[in-house]
Structure 1
């Protein structure tokens, strides 16, 4: 009998120590859902749950969706959550925590369930300045958070909590919202270019005019909480007309290769989709790392001289090209080429004589003509005609590129913009076919459409296909 009592005492003691050692807690958990500013938080296989009346969430995924980082100290069983202005330290099995250097008491101790560290939703949300409401009918927790961001102009912006009525003027922002899986019903109005883009799927949304000169009356009529637009366009008359109505203007470019990743994470932060943004950015980095790796050892004398123009230049008397500070320049040089306009800046006008003097080895022509190239084009008929006309152009035909038929056509969607990294795959294979024999740019573009935009890949994007 004494042995049985002793065994039971030891068993009870060990069970009481389980939380302290981070083992799976012997608790009965009821699954639930958590929404952040109207968007369901994607938890993967780590589901939020209710334990003893308290909603518990996976600490890493929830915090990272708020734009914070999480560190785990296995020795002390301590979780540290750090953002720009919030620091939280929690210990498994303890109801004491430290928030921004101050001691706080939790209603429920952090615990480990099925190998996941779970923390009380209300505590962690309120530490970040959010408010938690319980929707009894839907059996879900709704987190409402005023999000502080820095936009593309460098200004600090506080985005209103529960943002679920948006007007989108920026086509690149509209595509990024697709990547982040923001619900369609959140978009109540779009610019003409967003509405008519053949693959974004916003053709049924209310048009509010052009992205450069929107119709303010139409914007006001759809009653948005915020308008997403470019950093520079339209000018501040947008704020002047919308601010009196309480409509927030969010300026995010999302088209510049050098700032795209940061812009995407900023947009994601508004909707609690930082984790999704980081997954996409990692995918992008993985897919394009091959270009960096295979051109890094090219010596300057072995690099290909390349010239980039828009198709409209073929019929113009004065041509414009792309120099430093442009996405096209970045795309050409990231693919290992020497942009013949690299010593100039922005979009300089150049003469036919200048082109002949530079004598590029290869020429890449970008076009935005939807009858020639892009998602809705069914065959190569028009794009091949455009290339043929370029080959007989009186200037191009006298260059090495023209003589050797090293002239290529690419969609402007891939040649200077939010998908320049995808265009660089096509460029690299055109410039150095031997180095990229095993790379299939179209297959990677197909993966982008299907995996991240959730639509089938269609159309003609580059010609001739590398």
Structure 2
């Protein structure tokens, strides 16, 4: 917390950058917009050039714990190592960093307690911008501690996962972006119709000849590794895997043997439920959940984790029972994309991504959910919009599809996510 920021009047500066598409379609008048989403039933008060906001709504948006002392008429707020006390009618603010003079005192109006916005927000490291045309306030919360999973594939000279991660050409290593990435989903495996694990994916996720050096470098920079098993939509192997007990048993045996080299398994089995009747979907969900449960049991007995990379609940692929799967998997990556033409470069619509998160969160604990971002379609600004959704819903983290495509967009990620070290 910087003392020089604490008593600055609200600047009448124009909002920089383009508006988030999450709020562009709604009325922008008299709003408090936090990380791209307007706070419901919250209208700022503008008095003598100062902005006031209901303290409870603001505190919740900043994930700050607040209490109200009716006898002393004080507001107390605590977050991490910051403590703040404000008193109704007093221009004196008390913090664990010292005492500060306010330009305006907190007040009670229409039964609500209003506090000076800029002082409160910047005390907790949020950034505030004023939009004078619409009399609205835009706030960006500080970087959050979140997991970042990077899908690691072979790529090519222009989209090298190695170079994107370490910011050095192979085999050189450096901190690079490993201070953000906590886990690698190593997309190197597939399966055949007999349940045999294939180390060279017949589609486009091939295991490099020097793959063991990737595991070694991941260990050096304290990144977890998961072997990713990928079967795309319409691959006949998946149907056999779910319906043939012998094939399923063979697959689980081989996965458990191979996972000794990794921290866990990431299953990316795609296309389930497309075009099926409701009865068929229920059956498919049950078959997939049973396979996942059997695999999870074996992995846990070997102290290995299980991640599921799943189509979003609001996609056309309905063969995934999120509630049941959330009970057996350690984490679920929501593929909240492909809502638009896969060949287009149009960013994924925020309303669909938010809906996907809300549907998943309704049946799976937020701390198990990870939001996947398809970097083929996003830029630095729209990536931040997606991360903001994960922050607002207190998800475990984000997943980047894929390393090699982030490149200059790391700057936007760093503005939203706290470094690991």
Q: Quick check: TM above 0.5?
A: no
TM-score, scaled to structure 2: 0.39
TM-score, scaled to structure 1: 0.36
